[in-house]
A and B are shown apart, each in its own frame.
Chain A
């Protein structure tokens, strides 16, 4: 039994998410919401049998009840998300936020998804691409022993960094650093992002440096990271440990590569793929809870 969902945003992310959701047994993508009637994403959605609107979220609201939409993925922008979230919440729809708006708590599926589902959160935020790729590793180290400082370097192909990211690159560093602390469990977090224009485009690379408070327990950290990588690979098969963990005093460094599935976005854009994959994973777990009656619909105000 699957739960009906709406995809808000018909850009690269929304469209890639659609292809992933079409393969899901827990989520049925029923609607795609855009603002440009001629967008490629909406055309593809119609082709695959989704209902579509180019009127933004307002075009979806009248159909929520009838079409049983209980989950929405918002892949618009940090500017639009707050209004979308308010309108959807009023209709009792759980919103998974892929924008940097971060109204709801950060969600990194392999680390804290179960906790959010347990709390029946109505809005969760997917942090950032770099956050999805690296916070699991910070958490894996922090699960073994206290991490005084967590730092990540995300290197992505210039082609995979859209105009939104470029206009506000500080948002990436700020949000990711925050996530390293709040979800990763490091006392202090820092994030660095590098854009590389090389052709052919490079596959997303991520480096995670942790400084542990005491001497690192090498064996336990190795095992913990191995487990965590396997956990992330459940939803991002192209998530690969390239090197490490390297131990150098209290420094624990891990080198990762994230290749995407190449659904709508090219394989090298693992940074975008890990966002859509993590969001779908989140939606699927919430949907399963709903289908089994453990996640009752919130009272639909005014509906």
Chain B
């Protein structure tokens, strides 16, 4: 459709690192305070302007359902924020999980950016949180998850709602790593077309189809200005767009990120990779997430339930896609595995 090459040379963009929030998923939310501080200060020194820090499922995510973290959101934020020279810290908040009280806590800890996340069709549950964040003077982002599940026009309508509550930036979030560059281009363009010129647009990718870099570039071409990625890709599923790779690509293309190519590589290689409990790669289950359009943080839950109940994690993930599950429905995974085990007469251990 859009064959005209768009020059991105000279474009100034904001890179937003996810490895201390989305990266909590593959770590079972067990990143230590020392690791948080080491990685965050490394990213800061490399020039990454914005770093997300919280439980993988955002403020208040500590739960049986999503996993209890090694430390509370407050402990993480209070440990990291005072150590940073230039970088600002963001916190994620999913209405239905976190509340306005959590928002106040994050503000009190010195968070500069709040990202209020809803499923791509449910923007109207974010009104009280976005309104409050703006009242506190925070950089307020509306984060529309699983954005592949709606048409570009509907996504734009939902983004417009969040903008009307006070969000100054709207994200197209590819939580399942399902999108191909054209999907991204259409959605970002649709958002750009309806939002006020001063409202920024961002893209959050997952690397389940190895499209993280390509999709992020497509987003920039269509008018996005903020790009999420994660040092060494540490994030749910096959991880996020690997930030050090994207930064290197951006430099080659003349896109201005303000982030040092080599310093960021060092953070990824020397600090983040050694933290990994397993390689962050596109294994079969992660590929299924992307192929079937399933929420990336379901990955480890499906592997665990599969092992516990003797069913295939790949089958669980495919079924979760067929059921049109959305972000946060981790509780469906054990439920589903029990059903599958029963249907196959495999027998459950409980």
Which A residues contact B (CB, under 8 angstroms)? 149, 151, 153, 155, 158, 161, 163, 166-170, 172-174, 190, 192-198, 205, 207, 209, 211, 242-244, 246-248, 251, 253, 255
Contacts and interface: CB of A to CB of B under 8 A. Distances in A.
Contacts of B64: 149, 151, 209, 211, 251, 253
A195 B96 contact: yes
Given A166-B124, A170-B99, A196-B324, 13 more contacts: A151-B63, A155-B332, A169-B95, A192-B96, A195-B122, A197-B119, A207-B65, A207-B331, A207-B335, A242-B335, A251-B64, A253-B334, A255-B334
Contacts of B124: 163, 166-167
B65 A209 contact: yes
A253 B309 CA distance: 15
B325 interface: yes
24 contacts: A151-B63, A151-B64, A166-B122, A166-B124, A168-B128, A169-B128, A170-B95, A170-B99, A170-B101, A170-B128, A190-B63, A195-B96, A195-B122, A195-B125, A197-B119, A205-B332, A207-B335, A211-B64, A243-B334, A243-B338, A248-B350, A251-B64, A253-B64, A255-B335
Nearest to B95: A169
A198 B323 contact: yes
Given A198-B324, A207-B65, A173 B96 contact: yes
Contacts of B125: 161, 166, 169, 195
Question: Which bracket fits the contact residues of B?
Answer: 20 to 34
Contact of B329 (A168, A190, A194): A194
A182 to B, nearest CB: 18
Contacts of A247: 350
Interface in B294-350: 323-326, 328-329, 331-332, 334-335, 338-339, 350
Contact of B96 (A163, A169, A246): A169
A194 B326 contact: yes
A193 to B, nearest CB: 4
B128 A167 contact: yes
Contacts of A196: 119, 324-326, 329
A48 B75 CA distance: 59
A199 to B, nearest CB: 8
A226 to B, nearest CB: 15
B180 interface: no
Contacts of A170: 95, 99-101, 128
Contacts, number: 95
A246 B338 contact: yes
B308 to A, nearest CB: 8
B97 interface: yes
A197 B65 contact: no
B99 A173 contact: yes
B35 interface: no
A196 B324 CA distance: 8
B121 interface: yes
A181 to B, nearest CB: 15
Q: What 8 A-B pairs come out closest when comparing CB atoms?
A: A207-B331, A198-B324, A209-B64, A170-B99, A255-B335, A193-B96, A243-B338, A197-B121
Interface in B56-92: 63-65
Contacts of A173: 96-97, 99
Contacts of B335: 205, 207, 242-243, 255
B127 interface: yes
A246 B350 contact: yes
